[in-house]
Structure 1
Amino acid sequence: MRSIRLAAVLAACLILAFSCKNNTPEMSTPTPPPSAQTVVLTPAWSTDTLLTTAESVYYDETYNVLYVSCIGNVPPDAKDGDGFIAKVGLDGKIIDRQWITGLDGPKGMGKYGEYLYIADVTRVVQVDVISGKVLATIEIPGAAFLNDITVDQNGRVYISDTNNNTIYVIDGVEPSVFMQDTLFGGPNGLLVDGDRLIMAAFNVGQVFTITLQDPHATPVCDELPGGDGVVKYGNNFLISNWNGEIYAVSADWKKEKVLDTKVNNKNAADIAIIPNMKLVLVPTFFGNTVDAYRISTE
């Protein structure tokens, strides 16, 4: 009898153990993060060499056209009146070489509505893109070398001043200092990204994020010399080095050089991007062209 009870107890224990085992959730094998993709740039087309000292490209997605700022004769801060904006097709064909004339040293551009804003040494020039007429010239008090422009969703225009370590803002028609810091080391490329600015510094080789509300700057990426143009591609960024390089920079600020044009004696100034065509557009400054590259990943 005792042996029967013992056998029954053992059987019950086995049943309980088996039941517990079956009710224990299986541990899932964690899915490894996707491997980082390498950005590859392949030459697509090049404009004619008529874009004298091509400094910046802006893609107007409303009218499917490119605006190219051409400094003309150097130095780039000379108030000589020989700068111009060219209008170029998405195939690289020049539509109107001197669409806007009478500028000094035009550089970065931004657009809000039908208005194109152009950084021009110490002033910002506002152009109606439909008529091609200059509507306003806004002098920036204290400016020395206005370089790049970006515009937020409310129409505020942000302008970098490389020589004064300053970023200005135009809200309406009145310019003011948005942020000034000697640590900027020559602010150049600007991009509004949500509630922040991405800024590439020309002299110190750093990239900063700057909050739009209560401006505060944080260095996020270094050893990227000659910072010039900044564009977004997916969740990542492409940032140009004026000397002739483009870097792909991930969302966690790891960088990889994906283009080097120095061997061809070409600069890589203030770049633009056409996302749906997967094209990055590179003004070559002293090369007097805009070169387009097809973007792919591997």
Structure 2
Amino acid sequence: MKKKVYYVLVLFTISFSSIAQHSLNRIWITDSILPIPESVLFDKADQILYTSLMDGSPAERDGKGSIGKLTVDGKIINLNWISGLNAPKGMAKFNNKLFVADLTEIVIIDIKQQKILKKITVDAAKILNDVTVDKKGVVYVSDPKVGKIFKLENDIATVYLENLNKPNGLKAIDTDLYFLDSGSLYKIDPKKNKQLLAEGMDENTDGIEPITDNAFIVSCWTGVIYYVHKDGSKEILSDTRKEEYYTADIGLDKEKKIVYVPSLFKKTIAAYSLR
């Protein structure tokens, strides 16, 4: 009997210790002067942060939106690095180009020349949200309003996935596409075989960043940030829903384990070390 009890205790200890407890510890926060930051993108090559600034309604075509640049320690470089957008949200970088979701358009920006190269209209879209680019340069963009994920290849936008609920956060890794949809995380392979990886998160899942192999940081714009383990279990790293401190589309310095969090209507971006 004693051996059985000991065996159960050992198994419980191993199981419990296999899920490490993580935390977010704030390093810095900007002043409350950013005009509604929706997304942050960490650029490893240039060691800067891009942020999409809606400066208005998430669905309004007003020409007030912009892309800003900050240093990795939170100092503002230029909040109007690229201006004249509407309600810009997710961003992705590939080579020297920045791809931005802006309502019904995918805006392609030449980073070195600091100018918009073209705007490609996605006819079936209503409010494009997150963007990711695979290793071949194929762009994927989500639209939670219409329940679809679109693919942009050779400047032609087509429907890649449809009949979804509220697809938002996207991340292309190797040949697979990971996406968030109403509190769940999925992986889809090139043959469009879909696999559920985690569920039960706040239904307003927004940003997704891989922290290790098959483990992710997931944000929900209502104010929750999760650590999602490879077995589908999850930890709540931060929950500011009661304070209405929104946590939108996060950025990540994977090597230094720094998470960059835009706060939307609090008009700040904060950096947190992940432990």
- Calculate the TM-score normalised by the size of structure 2: 0.91
Match of 1:164 in 2: 146
Given candidates 98, 101, 106, the residue that maps to 1:119 is 101
- The residue type equivalent to 1:223 in the other structure is G
Given candidates 16, 20, 33, the residue that maps to 1:50 is 33
Match of 1:234 in 2: 212
How far residue 217 of structure 1 moved from its aligned partner, in angstroms, is 2.4
Query: Identity of aligned pairs, percent?
Result: 34
Superposed, 1:97-246 pairs within 5 Å as 97-181=79-163, 184-201=164-181, 204-211=182-189, 213-224=190-201, 225-235=203-213, 236-246=215-225
How far residue 37 of structure 1 moved from its aligned partner, in angstroms, is 1.2
In structure 2, the residue corresponding to 1:72 is in which secondary structure?
coil
**What is the aligned-residue RMSD (CA, Å)?**
1.5
CA offsets per residue over residues 77-105 of structure 1, 9 Å max, x none?
11110001110000001110111100001
The alignment status of 1:40 with 2:17, answered yes or no, reads no
Match of 1:282 in 2: 261
In structure 2, the residue corresponding to 1:276 is in which secondary structure?
coil
Match of 1:256 in 2: 235
How far residue 263 of structure 1 moved from its aligned partner, in angstroms, is 4.1
Moved more, 188-197 or 112-121: 188-197
Q: Is the 8 A contact 1:41 1:295 kept in 2?
A: yes
CA offsets per residue over residues 138-188 of structure 1, 9 Å max, x none?
00111111000000000000000111111111112111111112xx21100
Q: Is the 8 A contact 2:22 2:227 kept in 1?
A: yes
Match of 1:84 in 2: 66
CA offsets per residue over residues 36-61 of structure 1, 9 Å max, x none?
21111001111122211110001111
Distance 1:275 1:47 in 2: 21
Distance 2:184 2:20 in 1: 23
Match of 2:3 in 1: none
Match of 1:60 in 2: 43
Distance 2:154 2:231 in 1: 34
Distance 2:237 2:174 in 1: 25
> Which runs of no fewer than 5 residues in structure 1 stay unpaired?
1-29
Q: Is the 8 A contact 1:178 1:215 kept in 2?
A: no
Match of 2:5 in 1: none
How far residue 220 of structure 1 moved from its aligned partner, in angstroms, is 2.6
Match of 2:4 in 1: none
Q: Is the 8 A contact 2:199 2:232 kept in 1?
A: no
In structure 2, the residue corresponding to 1:51 is in which secondary structure?
coil
Distance 1:35 1:221 in 2: 17
How far residue 268 of structure 1 moved from its aligned partner, in angstroms, is 0.6
Moved more, 146-155 or 272-281: 272-281
- Which has the greater radius of gyration? 1
Q: Is the 8 A contact 2:134 2:175 kept in 1?
A: no
Distance 2:158 2:33 in 1: 36
- The residue type equivalent to 2:180 in the other structure is A
CA offsets per residue over residues 20-46 of structure 1, 9 Å max, x none?
xxxxxxxxxx9x676321111001111
In structure 1, the residue corresponding to 2:264 is in which secondary structure?
coil
- The residue type equivalent to 2:256 in the other structure is M
- The residue type equivalent to 2:269 in the other structure is V
Distance 1:56 1:277 in 2: 19
Q: Is the 8 A contact 1:49 1:288 kept in 2?
A: yes
